[in-house]
Structure 1
């Protein structure tokens, strides 16, 4: 299915009005603030549209994120593979979410995916801001872009003693994942509000830390191996992914019930128009 039946006109109008109000923006050089607005508007919009979609009993599998852009789109002249590589593998090169959003627009990634997706799947409306949201591929695209955004949000940097990452790993909202390279153990920090002591009526935030496991058998994570914090299975939670430095296998660390569990994963290719995933997805071995 592509066209979503009985899609609310109010949601179509909201998306149309957002883009029409910014039709004078030079997408090749968007102004400061535009990138963050682009990312946040679409995150909020697809969240509400998908809530309506599910409430009406429609198949949620049809609107899941593409884990990667279909190869048929990536091979087109308009698609900037170097820009894609920066977004996927060097998100730390973006100083802010605004810079990330502006880059996704100015590099033509967003526009090219819509343009070539419309051609590939035979849906001209997918390349029309006025009507694209009533097609399932719109959510494949924008859920994927939101994953790029979440990947940036979940970044941290390795330090001599380990590394840390912000994002949603097990619960809802912001959490901190901490890796201690000295002992090879992992900790999850959850933010909580605590009433201040004394006459100050304000509350303060504190972090409650829990040991969730270790990865000692895999060696130090900060040894230069391929490593990423990524929502690999599309459940809205970030996982730890790394390539084993000697065996070459990809491993996934997923936090569940207060523990981090490790399992090998592999890439299973998709990408043809008749495949529901239209991309590549990570599966457990």
Structure 2
């Protein structure tokens, strides 16, 4: 399949494009090689002991041709894999990130390598005005909005409920669920018939998690929000669905403060006895964002390593 020419940014000089490609190549070598990276754990994808696999597995087929998507948490992990796959299928992407500019720039380069346009928007989705900013910058850059992927999230393990401070509780809910409300409110005037919203919930919503009480509670709220919003928007021709990943190898693991032994054995409790990779989750988001799922709304897909869940 012939590769589309790179779209680039309007008004960019050849020199600027060449400089960006050079920087992008360096970034991709660091974050996309799959090699072992021996650095202390942090919230940067490049600093994980093993680079997550974000690369799309198959050639694109134009399922999102001409579409524009917002992907929150798009700088790394599942979000990066979603951006890469959406771009391969023809979408331009607004990549929303909190503070990892370097990872966000790498994801922009990945999208542009697929011949699509991308912008990186720094925003704290848990802030009430962030949704308006994100949508305004997306419309200014691309002129439309077709898909909203609410993927951004955070977690802070705590073995004892008394260790969860009011500040942590408020922060986790603000990022994980309040931000979805803010973004949908801002996006709705720009979403027409055939648009799609895909929310990221979690296997912890169905199984519970003794050490992630506040996080799993937000994921339960996200599932309820997804089903209720589906009912609210179905008459407008806007579909709303969710994805509930199991343990996936992303920067969320060390960033969340989990003990080293827990990180080392992460995912081994699934029937497949391993964590999933971001590029094993991204196809669920693609399916729910494109017309392949045109008769589905209010549903949740479960890429979780074979774990059986109810609901």
TM superposition score normalised by structure 1: 0.28
Higher fraction of strand: 1
Higher fraction of helix: 2
TM superposition score normalised by structure 2: 0.27
